[in-house]
Amino acid sequence: MKGKLVEEMVMGVKNEMATSVGELAVALAAFKKEKAESCKKERAACLQSVKELVAKECRSQLQELTKRVALCTKSVDEVVKKVEGCMTAAKCGWKLVLGSEEQVTKLKDNVAVREAGLRVSEPKGGRSKG
């Protein structure tokens, strides 16, 4: 009888172990599913935070770069205006130096007349010694 009793006890323990193992397997599967869902939610929240952070950071950097470009453009425009002013001044200066074409032609004519007059008034032998 002891043999049968021991056998029944062993079978009982096996059944309990099987039930326990089965329950553990079900509990483990439920835990894994819960953790997977939890991780999925955390990952989604983390990704959203990263997206917001990147958007915020990029926006501020983009604004900063836009300001720099605007300042650079303004600076370039100022330089262009200065160069244009210098070119205008140079043109005015050349007009003052050279005068109009009519004035230049008159000057050339006057020089030619003077040179011709000097040649005519000089004695043939050269200048007189005095």
60-118 pLDDT, tens per residue?
A: 888 888 888 888 888 888 888 888 887 777 777 666 666 666 776 777 788 777 777 76
Q: What is the mean pLDDT of residues 18-23?
A: 70
37-65 pLDDT, tens per residue?
A: 988 999 899 889 988 988 888 888 888 88
Is residue 126 a part of any domain in this protein? Answer: no
Q: Please, which residues have CB within 8 angstroms of residue 88's CB and are 6 or more apart in sequence? A: none
- The residue segments making up the domain with residue 31 are 2-121
Is residue 128 a part of any domain in this protein? Answer: no
Q: Per the structure, how many domains does the chain have?
A: 1
Is residue 129 a part of any domain in this protein? Answer: no
Nearest one of 45, 72, 46, 95 to 87, comparing CA atoms: 95
Tell me 125's DSSP state: T
- At 48 the pLDDT is 92
**pTM (whole model) above 0.75:** no
Is residue 130 a part of any domain in this protein? Answer: no
